[in-house]
Amino acid sequence: MWLVGVSAALTMIWGNVAALIQDNVKRMLAFSSIAHAGYALVGLVAGGPSGTNSVLFYMLVYTVTNLGAFGFVIMLESRGYAGETVSDYAGLARRHPAAAFGMLLFMLSLGGIPPTAGFMGKLYLFAAAVNAGYVWLVVVAVLMSAVSLYYYLRIVLQMYLRDGEGAEPAELVAAPWTERVIWVCGAAVLVIGMLPAPFLAAARATVGVLRLP
């Protein structure tokens, strides 16, 4: 597992550093996906039931959060907003507070901030790794999580503390399926973050059914 641990560390570092220098939001999210794959590998390195459970739980959390974040970007682009660069989000909270709050939830969850699902996902991953003796790997993961906060919170800063420039469309209404996905994912980010027990139980049950190590 030593080699997998090194791979996890390098994946987290590469993904986060690459995302850090992006101004294009889609590219930023794409590179951050690489980093999140590295976080998932932390649970794989931990091994045992707790490690496997934490990986399944984390993949659920990440899928829901990332689906919501990409859905939000698609909604912006489909309604005439640029939504391509970080600066395109300037002043969004003032014009569309509900929509901005949804993106806020997704960014906080991706960054692992409580009380979101992302925090619980990383907590269980890191706890499994510490219990398995991979403290050094958790230190790397925590440091990389701190790095990720910089680029996730850049979007939040633009939405809430910057004024937008130029004319913007007055309405921000998504296609029905996109809007449903965003709101369901946003609700899930909060529910899983505050009530993780049923979802952890489902992960354990899945491990038992599939007889994973």
Residue type for 103, please?
Answer: M
pLDDT value, residue 208: 73
The residues facing 69 across adjacent strands are: none
Residue 198 in contact with residue 126, Cβ under 8 Å? no
Q: Which residues of the chain have pLDDT under 50?
A: 167
pLDDT value, residue 104: 95
The DSSP line for 104-167 is HHHHHHHHT-TTSHHHHHHHHHHHHHHHTT-HHHHHHHHHHHHHHHHHHHHHHHHHHHS---S-
Residue 180 CA to residue 86 CA, distance in Å, equals 24
pLDDT value, residue 193: 96
pLDDT value, residue 168: 53
Structure pTM?
A: 0.90
pLDDT value, residue 212: 60
| Domain ranges within the chain, ordered by starting residue | 2-210
pLDDT value, residue 164: 65
pLDDT value, residue 94: 87
